[in-house]
Amino acid sequence: MKTSITLGLSSVVLLSVMNMAMADLMIFPAKGQSDATMEQDKFSCYGWAKGQTGFDPMKVPTTSTAPPSQQQKSGGIVRGALGGAALGAIIGDSSRSARNAGAAGALIGGVRQSSANNASAQKTEQWKQQEASNYANNRSQYDRAYSACLEGKGYTVK
C-alpha cells in the first residue's frame, strides 16, 4: 500500500463523484492551499462529516420505512351488485326490485372501492413526502458538518 500523496484511480473516481455531489457548495482556499491539498481536505472532511451525521451523500438514497401497500383493489362494483341483487330478491317480490337493488349495490360498492383506493394513494403520497423530508434533513446536517470541517481547515464555504 502506497503512502505517498498521489491518489489511486479509485480515489480519483471517488473524488470526482464527490465533486458532483458537492457541486452546490462553493469552496475557496482562504489560506492559499493548493488544489491537491484542497482535494485531500475535501476527502478528509467527507469522511468526518459522514461519521458525525451517519449520512453518506455518495450512497444511493434508501427509505427509512417500508412504503404503504399500493395494491389497488377491484371488484367493488361486482360485489356490491351481487349483494344488492340478493338483498333486493329477499326483500322485494319482483325481479325489478332486485335489479334496482343490484344497481344501487353496484354504485355503493364502486364508491367504497374508489374511496379505499384514494385513501391508499393518499397514504403513499404522504409516505413519499415524509421520506423526501427525512433525506433533505439528513443531507442538510451532513452539509453543515462538511462545511464546518472545511472552515476549520481554513476554507471559505458558501
- pLDDT band, residue 67 (cuts 50/70/90): confident
pLDDT digits (tens, 9 = 90+) for 3-57: 333 334 344 444 444 444 445 899 999 999 999 999 999 999 999 999 999 999 9
C-alpha cell at 61: 438514497
Distance (Å) of CA 88 to CA 75, 95, 97, 108: 20, 8, 6, 14
- Hunting for cell 341483487 — which residue is that? 85
Determine what percent of the chain falls in helix, strand and coil, rounding each to the nearest 5: 65, 5, 30
Separate counts of helices (H) and strands (E) for the chain:
4, 2
pLDDT at residue 100, as a whole number: 64
H-only helix segments in 54-153: 76-91, 95-152
- How is the chain split into domains, by residue range? 9-63+142-157, 76-132
